[in-house]
Structure formats: C-alpha cells, structure tokens
Amino acid sequence: MSIKSDIINALENNRGKPVSGQQLADELGVSRAAVWKAIQALLQEGYNISATRCKGYMLDESSDILSEAGLLTCLRSRGINTPLVFLSETDSTNIQAKRIALEGGQHGTAVVANKQTAGRGRLGRSFYSPADTGIYLSVLLSPKGAIPKPQMITVYAAVATARAIEKVCGISVGIKWVNDLYFNKKKICGILTEATLSMEGGGIDNVIVGIGINCTGSEEELPDEIRSKAGFLGKGGYTRNELAAEVVAQILKYGDCVFPDDVIEEYRKRSILTGKRITYTKNGSPDTGCVLGISDSGCLIVRSDSGDTDELFSGEVSITQF
Ligand code: BTN
C-alpha cells in the first residue's frame, strides 16, 4: 500500500483523535516530510484533516470522502483482497466492469465511482449519479462452475445490499421486487445485473452486479422524473467507504453464484410488496391485483382483479397504495 493509504488507515482508525506526525513517520518507517506530503495530497482529494501544532493530524468525524485509500482500508479490514478500481468520475461502473471482464479482468474485481456521467438503470433507463452523495459500484463475478439458478443473482444482490446497509448504517431496508431497496417509503438503491455470454460454452461467462445507493441529498436536487419516488439513506454513523466495502464483501460471499435456500426466505421477509395492491403489465396490457408473495425462483405472484394467479418473471410494478 502507498504512504497515503497507510496514513488514511491510521487516521481512520483514530477518527476524531489527533495522531502525531512523528508517530505516523515512525510507524510507517518514512520521514516526517513524506508524511506531510501525503497529508497535502489527501487534503487536495478533499479529506477533512486538521493539523494542530504539537498534537498532530486528525481526520474529522464528519469526513466522508469516497477514495481508493479509504476503500482499500475498509476492504482489507474485512479480509477482501480482490482488485479495486476506484474512479472519481466515470461513465458507468457497469460499463467499466464489462470492459475489464472482456480484457480478462480478475473475478471479484470491484469498480467504485464517486460520480457517473452515464449511469445505467433497468429497462433502458438512466440512473442519476451525482458526485459526493452516493455510491456507484459494480462487482465482476466470473464463476468457474455452472450457475444453477441465474435468476437468484438478482435476488441475492438485493439481499446482500440490504444486509450491508443494515450492518453499516444500522437501519432496516425493504426490497421492492425485483431489486429496488426502499427506506421510509422511498427508493434509496437500484441494482442492475448484467452478464456476458461465452461464445464457446453458450452459457454465462461473467456477471456484473451494479449497485447505486443514494446516501445523502435533498429532494429538491433530484431530477423531476424521480423526485416523488427517490430518497436517501441519510448521514451519520457510517462512511461511504465502509458501506461500499461491506456491499462488496456481501456480494463476494456467494461470488460463485450458488446461493443457499435462506436467501429467498430473507428476500420474502424484506419484500414490501406482499399483501399490497399493485398495477403491472400482463401480455403488454396494464392490469391490477394483489401481491400474494414471491415464488422459490424469485417471481412475483399476483392475484389479478379478474381472479387469475399471475407469476411475473421480470418487469416493473407500481404500488397503488403504500
Ligand atoms: C435501477 O434502479 O434501474 C438500477 C440502477 C443501477 C445503478 C447502478 S450504479 C452502479 C452501476 N453502474 C451503472 O451504470 N448502473 C449500476
């Protein structure tokens, strides 16, 4: 790791408490001038570090910079040693992860960005991805064996992200089928899972799990088309580096894309649609009904107003009343 990463590591571990320049220099085996230089670089990156004569350097409690050094610290402390590509700005982390996959990139590579200029959503939509307020990440999975139930990748991605948010932020989030996460009746996270196919084998070669989380912001800043639906996790008690690292760790827990049965159970428990009236599309026409539950393969089971039981494999539904 670089001096910068080591310093961030030391300051992160002492958030809100000063660490002397001499102590940092001694622990890292570098000169005080090298420590000073690295601190200047971190300040340039936007880290909120204060320097006090006699006391040393202190990372402010409120500092929430998404960075390579901070992410590496949080990933390695979770025992995750896979490659990390950090981009302060990119078109789309899914596009970058796909490019890395096609260039023979390593299984488990995480691509994390502070801003996306062409964030992609499901059903051909765009995903609003402004700087400094969210987490935009993609994990490249290249399982060696067959994927017995590909549809479970999407199911698990939602469960994994919900688990990470709960663990790091201490709040409980629900899943709106297929894989939107909701907090306080607002969408705070969207997930786009994509795959590359093998020409030889005919099966799935690589899976790209793309996750976008709205951490902070205000309703007024949101584009008109998502203002009534989107929300934020909120500030405090966590950093974006920690949350991003935990999401990656949870996704990699089943990086081979073979999932245990309790995943669908947890998805069911977190489902916010069960028992709700919804509108949906059936054979190209709009329909309304009541959600009965989620099937073992992750389909939405709906009792339509005309009395039919429909199983939806994909698409999007709207809740008539929360
Ligand atoms: C949706 O809600 O429709 C899915 C949104 C998925 C957004 C994430 S952000 C990281 C990754 N890169 C993208 O371009 N999209 C996904």
Give per-residue pLDDT as tens, 131-144. Answer: 999 999 999 999 99
Calculate how far, in angstroms, residue 278's C-alpha sits from the geometric centre of ligand 1: 24
**Cα(226) to centroid of ligand 1, in Å?**
14
Question: Residue 306's closest CA among 275, 280, 273?
Answer: 280
**Residues lining ligand 1, Cβ inside 6 A:** 92-94, 116, 119-122, 125, 127, 136-138, 180, 190-192, 210-212
Angle at 190 between CA 162 and CA 94, to 5 degrees: 110
Give the rounded distance of the alpha carbon of 163 from its chain centre.
11
Atom of ligand 1 nearest to the CA of 190: 2
pLDDT, tens digit (0-9, with 9 covering 90-100), for 159-208: 999 999 999 999 999 999 999 999 999 999 999 999 998 877 778 999 99
User: What average pLDDT does the segment 243-252 reach?
Assistant: 98
Pocket probe mutation, ligand 1, options 87, 114, 115, 116, max atoms within 8 Å of Cβ? 116
- Which amino acid makes up residue 250? Q
What does the DSSP 8-state code read for residue 154? H
Res. 300 pLDDT band, cuts 50 70 90: very high
Q: Tell me the CA–centroid distance for residue 138 and ligand 1, in Å.
A: 9
Q: What is the pTM of this model?
A: 0.92
Element (H, E) at 191: strand 186-197
Ligand 1 centre distance from Cα of residue 47 (Å): 26
User: Would you say residue 321 has pLDDT above 90?
Assistant: no
Q: Which of these ranges, 65-79, 84-98, 118-132, 177-191, has the smallest mean pLDDT?
A: 65-79
pLDDT exceeds cutoff 70 at 1? no
- Spacing, Cα 72 to ligand 1 middle (Å): 22
Look up tokens 């629900």; give the residue: 174
* Helix axes of 240-253 and 151-169: crossing angle, nearest 10 degrees: 140
